[in-house]
Structure 1
């Protein structure tokens, strides 16, 4: 498969983070080292991205399941279950967050549980019916359809007459504050689209060229600066304090005077519903495929295996519904923040494992040649 799909995995992760928890976390740390944390996060994210891609090139068309096949069985099981937890939680917090936003802004009278059931039904259907390659094709279609709208929204943000340069400059004065672990973890997550290669790598039959990733730090830096400075420019350093979803509130101030849709907020939410759905599908596909392998579910023609797949997806949905029932919006945001902090050492562990196995393979190949 053409390597452009790998770049799509990176882009969807960058785009979804503008809508998700990243702006909230960075803005909450605006007086506590958010800016220097963003810079550190960019360096950390870039380093992990380049090292991981260089290492994964040694395992063409292989998933993490194949890569760690030679390690001790106990470590393999624990490590794969850890990855299932990371990727399932990534999809879950995304789903919980954008469902709450959808209900609040598009249909406040609709029960939240009903909206969750609608989205879960669509996600489960896509996971059950689409293979890895088809999910990548779907991702491409969604990006092509939605990126023009996002560019329009960004244009509206940067040319808005209410955007205060003084507020942005005030935020810049906090550059040398002590960095925050929470903000570093949030900033580095913008780069994390590469990590989906733990399963999606099997769709690519040619190696990734590291030199073609030169644009990623630039785009991620732009995305972080946009998600951080635009709300501050619109609301002020103190005004952003009580905004749960800063970019939702910010987009609600934009207007297209002579456009078919005057309020940009409607366009913004509809765009991010589609982006959030495909993001959840990608994350859960990774967790789903790893869990199927652990449970030795391989042939859907076998009745027990087919029921096993349905059971996994039912459990995924059930966990989301239970958490949605017991947690309120602020608690969901807090859970998202905790997951982001937990994710960073998790990705470092993933990198170390892949890097060590890649080096062992290269060492073994060189010994054979000698």
Structure 2
């Protein structure tokens, strides 16, 4: 079962491109991005180890189930609504950013809402499935797309057009005091463990997540590549001229495999699957947080057919996506992305603190005898 956990770690590390993490880091490349990344690698690894260990103390329970069981009803509903807001915004940002990228590089004259409609429709259908179905669909999509994406990353690393001098110059700014927004952006790459907020329901008692040393290795690789490779292709100054940094970087590479020549087309096709996977997971998680606010809700990870509430909640997410597309532009989207990255960092720390407190509370509850049992023993 632990392999499903690492699927989340991998796809979250890869999707950082669509959440403007490289753009944010490049923007602060001379002002603390490198040192912020170094600190984020340590902090992200620590949070990953701590949070996964705490979730394993509550086998078969999601984060909404845990807070509903150990906290007052009103406070639990408040936390669940905050969690739902963060998760649904993540899906909206990825779908909008990817739709904008497709329009920019494939057909600038295309109706901007056409591809957005297709993406949201697929996201609604996928997110409304049962938790176990979402997990199985994610496995299939990741096993198809991740190897090819990683191949493209290695092709970029070993490209003869990669300027290692530009990378060394940028890496030399490691002594610059870290930037807070760069730190928040970099920690997102390590945040795959957060999906246990719902998928922990599928872990039976006694489950152990082994080989967690993989997390810092894989996530640090994704972080370094997503930041330094565009600098190596476009230079320390020229890299800041692009908004869709990795799309332009992929278009700087070529393949000589039959009819496949421009890497950009393969890259965007693979990120179609990855973006849909991310939207499916985030909206499904947000849906479960919202459903947990109902006092009579009982989690059903294997529910079939799915509840009509699943459809209505995810249709509301789709409506919010179109509302966001009507309101936003490139500048506003960057601003929302950066503020979401900051809010997500605080929520990760808060979730770890709450889980630690509730784990202690649960341990004390198990040790203390039930009053009726204690009275019978005394008699």
Please give the TM-score of this superposition, normalised by the length of structure 1: 0.94
Return the alpha-carbon distance in structure 1 between the equivalents of residues 342 and 318 of structure 2.
24
Return the alpha-carbon distance in structure 2 between the equivalents of residues 306 and 18 of structure 1.
33
Name the structure 1 match of 2:80: 80
Name the structure 2 match of 1:334: 335
Contact kept in structure 1, 2:24 and 2:338, CA below 8 Å: yes
Q: Could you say what secondary structure the match of 1:173 adopts?
A: helix
Contact kept in structure 2, 1:42 and 1:217, CA below 8 Å: yes
Point out where structure 1 has 5 or more consecutive residues left out of the alignment: none
Return the alpha-carbon distance in structure 2 between the equivalents of residues 63 and 347 of structure 1.
15
**Deviation (angstroms), 1:306:** 5.2
Change (3 A) 1:29 1:207: farther
1:162 pairs with 2:169: no
Name the structure 2 match of 1:104: 104
Q: Could you say what secondary structure the match of 2:102 adopts?
A: helix
Contact kept in structure 2, 1:81 and 1:291, CA below 8 Å: yes
**Deviation (angstroms), 1:290:** 1.4
**Deviation (angstroms), 1:36:** 0.7
Name the structure 2 match of 1:212: 211
**Deviation (angstroms), 1:137:** 0.8
**Deviation (angstroms), 1:210:** 5.2
Greater Cα shift, 203-212 or 52-61: 203-212
Q: Could you say what secondary structure the match of 1:321 adopts?
A: helix
| Number of corresponding residues | 364
Greater Cα shift, 357-366 or 188-197: 357-366
RMSD: 2.0
**Deviation (angstroms), 1:353:** 0.8
Contact kept in structure 2, 1:297 and 1:308, CA below 8 Å: no
Q: How does 1:245-264 map to 2 (within 5 A)?
A: 245-264=244-263
Change (3 A) 1:335 1:27: same
Contact kept in structure 1, 2:2 and 2:208, CA below 8 Å: no
Q: Could you say what secondary structure the match of 2:186 adopts?
A: helix
Please give the TM-score of this superposition, normalised by the length of structure 2: 0.91
Return the alpha-carbon distance in structure 1 between the equivalents of residues 19 and 263 of structure 2.
18
Contact kept in structure 2, 1:91 and 1:284, CA below 8 Å: yes
Greater Cα shift, 207-216 or 284-293: 207-216
Contact kept in structure 2, 1:97 and 1:333, CA below 8 Å: no
Point out where structure 2 has 5 or more consecutive residues left out of the alignment: 301-305, 375-379
Greater Cα shift, 66-75 or 242-251: 66-75
Q: How does 1:142-153 map to 2 (within 5 A)?
A: 142-153=141-152
Q: How does 1:233-272 map to 2 (within 5 A)?
A: 233-272=232-271
Q: How does 1:1-370 map to 2 (within 5 A)?
A: 2-68=1-67, 69-128=69-128, 130-209=129-208, 211-295=210-294, 296=296, 308-368=309-369
Change (3 A) 1:294 1:203: same
Q: CA deviation digits over 1:38-96, x for unaligned, max 9?
A: 01111111111111111111111111122112211221111110000111111111111
Q: CA deviation digits over 1:169-214, x for unaligned, max 9?
A: 1101111111011010011111111111111111111445355211
Q: CA deviation digits over 1:112-139, x for unaligned, max 9?
A: 11111111111111222x2111111111
**Deviation (angstroms), 1:334:** 1.7
Q: Could you say what secondary structure the match of 2:173 adopts?
A: coil
Return the alpha-carbon distance in structure 2 between the equivalents of residues 224 and 271 of structure 1.
19
Q: CA deviation digits over 1:232-261, x for unaligned, max 9?
A: 111111001111121111000100134431
Name the structure 1 match of 2:377: none
Q: Could you say what secondary structure the match of 2:243 adopts?
A: coil
**Deviation (angstroms), 1:299:** 10
**Deviation (angstroms), 1:157:** 0.4
Return the alpha-carbon distance in structure 2 between the equivalents of residues 70 and 160 of structure 1.
54
Return the alpha-carbon distance in structure 1 between the equivalents of residues 258 and 359 of structure 2.
53
Return the alpha-carbon distance in structure 2 between the equivalents of residues 346 and 127 of structure 1.
22
Name the structure 1 match of 2:303: none
